[in-house]
Amino acid sequence: MTETPLVELGAVILGLALLARLAARVGIPAIPFYLLGGLAVGEGGLVPLGATEDFARTGAEIGIVLLLFSLGLEYSATELFTAMRASLPAGLLNLAANYSVGLAAGLLLGWGLVPAMFLGGVTFVTSTGVMAQVMADLRWTGNRETPVVLSISIMEDLTMVLYLPVLGALALGGAGLAGSLVAVTAVAAVSVILILALRFEHAISRALYTRSDEALLLSLLGIVVLAAGLADSIRVSAAVGALLAGIVLSGPTADRARGLLPPLRHLFAAIFFLFIGLEIDPASIPPMVAPALALAAIGVVTKAGTGWWAARASGIGAAGQARAAALLIPRGEFSIALAGLAVSAGLEPKLAPLTIAYVIVLVVIGPIAARLAVPIARGLQARSARRRAAQAPPVA
């Protein structure tokens, strides 16, 4: 029997399905399993891919576009600006505590300013997907700390809306004058689009709306791929174009899109994570384990500290503070997306393996910390109460 590309493609998709089942059985997100699967079938892996590699590359581009488009659909332009005002203090603390860690680490590793800025983004952004899954699994969605955590996450997303075009422009043009001019132009273009979205988002959504699922899905895919391509053609990241396309949509059209896109997004996002692993030589991972563990240890402290402070400042009790602290720990899809953009731009080759190791550690630690957070907080509370009772003067 002659082997065809379809045989290999079918085997790859079935392999992804098995990895997703394994992740569900273990109780953690599938992202680390997809990354490890990519390492196993990449160059230097156990069973290198052949004819499917070109499909994986194209699928990965579609995957990152759909991931960012779906993220943009979660917020209208109005909601983004409202959330920015409401969560500004916690957002600034989050930025200072977590972005600076990656930036400093990249500079200490001698990578230069632009790769260090990418690493700052990697350590800054919490995985919204992992966080949402943990909240759903533990039934925390109705808790008092949930709006606090979500506002911090929205602030991160808004920051990345403005930061991604800067990174994309600097990656293409360097940190010199030319790259800086492109970055300023990109930020100006994003700002104009967001301002226009504030004014015309409902009109655009009404124009796109249709009761036909087929027509709406094709319209959405055409718009997001076209927006990504146009952004790429003017030296703004394709991912930024997809993100902005999602933000521009609102109302019933965005609601329908959130229901139609998940199956496609799951498929192509899995291929994206697989492809990132596919592009990395497995031999490059072990030297990055020690830096990744060090960054992860610092990241657990800084993210948990941010969540704890924000919940406490909102008047939430110790258990809620512990839950907020744990929910912000995992990094995931956005960190890998940043590493993917760096790889495609030909930046520091050690950035991707470091990011993969870092994300795997924190995606595993995050859900475990969430399950342990409340018992630990209650134990500390009880211990503190006993200490205060022991120190209280005896009643006459």
Predicted confidence (pLDDT) per residue in 222-236, tens digit: 988 888 888 777 666
Decide: residue 338, CB within 10 A, 0-12 exposed, 13-18 middle, 19+ buried: buried
Please give the distance of CA 330 from its chain centroid, rounded to a whole number. 9
**Residue 47 region by backbone torsions, left for phi larger than 0, else alpha for psi between -120 and 50, else beta:** beta
- State residue 199's pLDDT score: 72
Least confident of 149-158, 180-189, 234-243, 373-382: 180-189
Whether residue 279 has pLDDT greater than 80: no
Mean pLDDT of the chain: 79
- State residue 21's pLDDT score: 92
Give 182's pLDDT tier (boundaries 50, 70, 90): low
HEC string for 103-132? HHHHHHCCCCHHHHHHHHHHHHCCCHHHHH
Whether residue 265 has pLDDT greater than 90: no
Whether residue 293 has pLDDT greater than 90: yes
Least Cα distance to 63 among 344, 309, 323 occurs for 344
- State residue 1's pLDDT score: 45
Tell me how far apart the alpha carbons of residues 260 and 110 are, in angstroms, rounded to a whole number. 45
Least confident of 39-43, 89-93, 168-172: 168-172
Whether residue 333 has pLDDT greater than 90: no
Tell me how far apart the alpha carbons of residues 216 and 222 are, in angstroms, rounded to a whole number. 10
Predicted confidence (pLDDT) per residue in 186-226, tens digit: 666 666 766 776 677 677 778 888 888 899 899 988 988 88
Q: Residue 60 contacts by C-beta under 8 Å, 6 or more apart in sequence?
A: 268, 271, 272, 274, 275, 276, 340
Among residues of the chain, what percentage have pLDDT more than 70?
78
Residues 11-28 have a mean pLDDT of 87
Contact 257, 83 (CB under 8 A): no
Whether residue 177 has pLDDT greater than 60: no
Least confident of 74-78, 98-102, 202-206, 217-221: 74-78
Type and span of the H or E element at 382: helix 351-391
DSSP assignment of 241-290: HHHHHHHH--HHHHHHHHHHSHHHHHHHHHHHHHHHHHTS-GGGSHHHHH
* More confident position, 32 or 43: 32
Whether residue 303 has pLDDT greater than 90: yes
Find the farthest-apart pair of alpha carbons in the chain and give their distance in angstroms, rounded.
Answer: 94
Residues 165-185 have a mean pLDDT of 61
- State residue 198's pLDDT score: 67
- State residue 82's pLDDT score: 66
Written as six digits, the tokens of 33 are 């399993």
Whether residue 61 has pLDDT greater than 60: yes
Angle formed by the axes of helices 238-248 and 213-233, to 10°?
Answer: 140
Give 45's pLDDT tier (boundaries 50, 70, 90): low
- State residue 9's pLDDT score: 82
CATH number of 5-280+293-343+350-381: 1.20.1530.20
Give 394's pLDDT tier (boundaries 50, 70, 90): low
Contact 35, 360 (CB under 8 A): yes
- pTM for the model stands at 0.72
- State residue 3's pLDDT score: 55
Whether residue 179 has pLDDT greater than 90: no
Contact 88, 155 (CB under 8 A): yes
Written as six digits, the tokens of 254 are 């965005």
Tell me how far apart the alpha carbons of residues 155 and 77 are, in angstroms, rounded to a whole number. 12
- State residue 108's pLDDT score: 93
Contact 167, 113 (CB under 8 A): no
Written as six digits, the tokens of 110 are 């001698």
Written as six digits, the tokens of 91 are 């957002």
Cα radius of gyration rounded to whole Å, the chain: 22
